[in-house]
Amino acid sequence: MKLELLRELSITNNTKILLLVIDGLGGLPNESGRSELEQAGIGHLDRLAQDSLCGLTVPVAFGVTPGSGPGHLGLFGYDPEQYTVGRGVLEALGIDFDLHSTDVAARGNFCTVDGDGLITDRRAGRIATARTVPLCEELARIKLPGVQVFVEPVRDHRFLLVLRGDGLSDRLTETDPQREGYRPLPVRATAPEAEATAKLLNDWIAQAQRVLSPYAPANMLTLRGLAKHPPMPSIAEICKFRAAAIAAYPMYRGLAKLVGMDVLPTGATFADELATLKQHWDSFDFFFIHFKRADAAGEDGDFQAKIAALEEIDTYIDQLHALQADVFIVAGDHSTPAIVAGHSWHPVPFMLHAKQFARADNAEGFNEKACARGSLGTFPAKEVLSLAMAHAGRLTKYGA
Amino acid sequence: MKLELLRELSITNNTKILLLVIDGLGGLPNESGRSELEQAGIGHLDRLAQDSLCGLTVPVAFGVTPGSGPGHLGLFGYDPEQYTVGRGVLEALGIDFDLHSTDVAARGNFCTVDGDGLITDRRAGRIATARTVPLCEELARIKLPGVQVFVEPVRDHRFLLVLRGDGLSDRLTETDPQREGYRPLPVRATAPEAEATAKLLNDWIAQAQRVLSPYAPANMLTLRGLAKHPPMPSIAEICKFRAAAIAAYPMYRGLAKLVGMDVLPTGATFADELATLKQHWDSFDFFFIHFKRADAAGEDGDFQAKIAALEEIDTYIDQLHALQADVFIVAGDHSTPAIVAGHSWHPVPFMLHAKQFARADNAEGFNEKACARGSLGTFPAKEVLSLAMAHAGRLTKYGA
């Protein structure tokens, strides 16, 4: 349902919802004919599926391969075609940068230019992060009139640029010409209110080029995904609950913060995350807890590592279940099949276990084929939140 | 996904997509309890289904029985509720009339009026085409100031009227009162910019009435579906591919042309169409090939003829498959169950076979029941193109 309707129908009570997101959960069969989930020993997930409502979620739309942003926003109830998060903002979230709603953020790439200013390497030979750090310190000394400028290293040749001040606009074009042999493009305003911001950025780029000139191969830079923190309604307000996010990786913490969740400090492993969850169990109504390893293994194209990651999260299912959430959901933000070695468009296994009023499907297990036969069918991820709220007794009747 | 997003995400590569549309594909059980597809000997389709992604397409919306226009537009990725093709335009496409984007086309019906001008037979006794041809020649002699007028026979009492000139508008009402005992209505403008066009048409109708007066029962006419060629974005531009249409029937060629496909000359049979496909295989990335007989048999209410038509197309499946398209889709524009003897609203069997990354459903066969259990579930036909593009590796990631 639309967020406006959810806001209208949501009511408070003392139930708890636990949303476990297994990043990159969905897969594809390898030559054996069975997928990662089908081959993994995941007895706890399989047993939970027998007593759950099952289906496959479509993260954005049929055929669309989502990035992490749209993949999570859908599960949080936001239509990912309506609510978009710019690359600059995601980059800021990814390093825990405290982005304000009026800041303009950009992803920066160091690059190499020749004597004529033409780009010869769009990634500056992928210089190491250790070399990017001092370059960012140099660039951070550049001053612009009336705005604060932040330059933060990210990884390899990538950095974050943030302008902070009044009246900035993100209706701006990127400077990366997307191929070598061309000059970086100027920033252009796509709306009149962005002219001043474009001028500031072009001034900054001109100064940056002078600063960088001795540092070949990183003697120039490009800016991409210039964006402001998008205006997002708060999930906590819409659902009238206290929402907490537990994620080891900064980007997922940032996404959760964007939609109005309280981000709980936690450690680097899922065991740390689980400890954080238990510690705060009494203080919140809704918990988003994130497991990253399955996606990382899929991205690496490592079928066995993905199986191992799924088997790892399976060992935590009983502890999660033992918390006795009124609604316990296991979902994925997108598929990352090892044979694709990247995100993909394939619908994602999903299950919802509820203490009461769940019409369980008696699924044969928790995998792509079994979930395809679930009664939820293949459905949009943005409906997950409504289903959770309903099964938690947190939605009132619609209409008389 | 929306066409704007598809345009944003589409990329080029050297993969091929083959879309076979079996017109009127879906059916219903007869007294035996099994549908046309279930009774037909279609071993090749059944085997292909085992190795494909299966589902049922909803051409327009639940419960909507589509005409040929909306049925095909959906499969071509256009939301048939948003993109509509007027009856006048479809009539023009159906006789291969070369309609310009500024023309206004109308479907004409000869009718019978009595001495008071009241309609006594809305179809002029369904006069034969042979009688309609000379009447159209007479009418074509009528001149209007500043515009060209075309009058073309279609079939029986039906003809096509086209006005060609500058500044014509199709914001116009129809003249058929829809029942006998009433006078034909005047054409009325529903927007100020159409006043001049309405006047031209009413002048033409007055002259036409004088011309027709000696030719009872065809002594008058009505005009319906006054429409211009709708503005359609080009599928070839949106998807960044070269798209070809192969169809023996003019209306399907016309629909394909409307959405920006190259229409290849071909013969009258499916064997001719297949030869055309093979001949042009290297020159295009996307092929739409059309099989008509299943629909015709369904329209006739001939259960056995529909089975025979399905068995005929089945004999071509191996040859189509042997072309090794990266994505091979078998779909229908709508259902035409023989027991309905017409188009119907029932979702239509669908399968997508891909060379890689297809999560095949191991369907038991290619029919309504087996496809209903496929992982695509019952889904909108307008999503077919996105799925095809994804499986052909022609879509980039959405969002960071």
Cα-based torsion angle of the residue sequence A372, A376, A381, A383 in order, rounded to the nearest 10 degrees: 180
**Average pLDDT of the residues in A188-205:** 97
* 3-state SS assignment for residue A163: strand
Helices (H) and strands (E) in chain A, counts: 15, 13
CB contact under 8 A, B9 and A64: yes
CA distances from A267 to A264, A272, A273, A330, B99 (A): 10, 5, 6, 21, 67
C-alpha to C-alpha distance for B353 and A108, rounded to whole angstroms: 41
Q: Give the closest of B359, B387, B399 to A63, CB-based.
A: B387
pLDDT at position A96 is 86
Say if residue A136's pLDDT is above 90.
yes
> Which of A336, A334, A343 shows the shortest CA–CA distance to A381?
A334
Provide the greatest CA pair distance for chain B: 73
pTM check: above 0.95: no
CB contact under 8 A, B1 and A339: no
CA distances from B159 to A36, A267, B154 (A): 61, 76, 5
C-alpha to C-alpha distance for B93 and B121, rounded to whole angstroms: 27
Q: What is the helix (H) or strand (E) element at residue B395, kind and residue range?
A: none
pLDDT band at A250 (very low <50, low <70, confident <90, very high): confident
Are A231 and A262 a contacting pair, CB within 8 Å? no
CB contact under 8 A, A345 and B375: no
Q: Residue A343's closest chain B neighbor by CA?
A: B397
Can you say whether the dihedral through the CA atoms of A183, A189, A195, A201 is positive or negative?
negative
pLDDT at position A346 is 98
Interface test with B, best of A91, A334, A345, A373 (most B CBs within 10 A): A345
pLDDT at position B350 is 98
Q: Give the distance, in angstroms, between the CA of residue A98 and the centroid of all CA atoms in the same chain.
A: 16
Listed in sequence order, the DSSP H helices in chain A are: 3-9, 36-39, 43-50, 68-75, 87-94, 129-139, 195-212, 235-239, 250-258, 270-279, 293-299, 303-314, 317-322, 368-372, 384-391
**Average pLDDT of the residues in A297-308:** 97
**Using alpha carbons only, how large is chain B's radius of gyration in Å?**
23
CB contact under 8 A, B390 and A63: yes
C-alpha to C-alpha distance for A188 and A191, rounded to whole angstroms: 9
Are A69 and A252 a contacting pair, CB within 8 Å? no
Least trusted range by pLDDT, from A97-106, A290-299, A388-397, B85-94: B85-94
Name, in order, each residue with C-beta under 8 angstroms of B307's C-beta and a sequence gap of 6 or more: B36, B39, B40
Q: How many residues does chain B have?
A: 400
C-alpha to C-alpha distance for A348 and B330, rounded to whole angstroms: 24
* Residue bearing the bigger pLDDT, A187 or A230: A187
Interface test with B, best of A36, A60, A62 (most B CBs within 10 A): A62
Q: What is the helix (H) or strand (E) element at residue B59, kind and residue range?
A: none
Are A24 and A295 a contacting pair, CB within 8 Å? yes
Give the closest-approach CA distance of A366 to chain B in angstroms: 15
Give the closest-approach CA distance of B297 to chain A in angstroms: 33
Contact list, A70 vs chain B (CB under 8 Å): 398-399
Say if residue A89's pLDDT is above 90.
yes
CB contact under 8 A, B1 and A340: no
Q: Give the closest of A63, A65, A378 to B377, CB-based.
A: A378
pLDDT at position B93 is 87
Give φ, ψ of B286 to 5 degrees.
Answer: -130, 130
Using left for φ > 0, alpha for ψ between -120 and 50, and beta otherwise, residue B225 falls in left
Are A32 and A301 a contacting pair, CB within 8 Å? no
DSSP code at position A151: E
C-alpha to C-alpha distance for A225 and A204, rounded to whole angstroms: 17
Q: Give the closest of A28, A65, A85 to B397, CB-based.
A: A65
Give the closest-approach CA distance of B385 to chain A in angstroms: 9
CB contact under 8 A, A64 and B2: no
Within a 10 A sphere around the Cβ of B86, how many other Cβ atoms?
Answer: 21
CB contact under 8 A, B357 and A346: yes
Q: What is the helix (H) or strand (E) element at residue B201, kind and residue range?
A: helix B195-212
Give the closest-approach CA distance of A24 to chain B in angstroms: 14
pLDDT at position A213 is 96
Give φ, ψ of B385 to 5 degrees.
Answer: -65, -40
Within a 10 A sphere around the Cβ of A205, how many other Cβ atoms?
Answer: 20
Q: Give the distance, in angstroms, between the CA of residue B216 and the centroid of all CA atoms in the same chain.
A: 33
Say if residue A93's pLDDT is above 90.
no
Both structure tokens of B5: 């997003």
User: Chain A residues within 8 A (CB-CB) of chain B?
Assistant: 28-29, 35, 56, 60-70, 80-81, 84-87, 90-91, 225, 337, 339-340, 343-347, 368-369, 372-373, 377-378
Give the pairing type, strands A148-155 and A17-22. Answer: unpaired
Contact list, B399 vs chain A (CB under 8 Å): 60, 66-70, 80, 84-85
Are B93 and B250 a contacting pair, CB within 8 Å? yes
pLDDT at position B155 is 86
Give φ, ψ of B297 to 5 degrees.
Answer: -65, -40
CB contact under 8 A, B399 and A80: yes
Are B246 and B19 a contacting pair, CB within 8 Å? no
DSSP code at position A185: P
Q: Give the closest of A28, A64, A343 to B359, CB-based.
A: A28
Q: Residue B361's closest chain A neighbor by CA?
A: A369
pLDDT at position A25 is 98
* 3-state SS assignment for residue A7: helix
Contact list, A86 vs chain B (CB under 8 Å): 400
Task: Spell out the per-residue pLDDT of chain B, length 400, in tens.
Answer: 899 999 999 999 999 999 999 999 999 999 999 999 999 999 999 999 999 999 999 999 999 999 999 999 999 999 999 999 988 998 898 888 989 989 999 999 999 999 999 999 999 999 999 999 999 999 999 999 999 999 999 989 999 999 999 999 999 999 999 899 999 999 999 999 999 999 999 999 999 999 999 999 999 999 999 999 888 999 999 999 999 999 998 889 989 999 999 999 999 999 999 999 999 999 999 999 999 999 999 999 999 999 999 999 999 999 999 999 999 999 999 999 999 999 999 999 999 999 999 999 899 999 999 999 999 999 999 999 999 999 999 999 998 7
CB contact under 8 A, B400 and A344: no
pLDDT band at A347 (very low <50, low <70, confident <90, very high): very high
**Average pLDDT of the residues in A74-96:** 92
CB contact under 8 A, A70 and B377: no
Can you say whether the dihedral through the CA atoms of A275, A279, A281, A286 is positive or negative?
negative
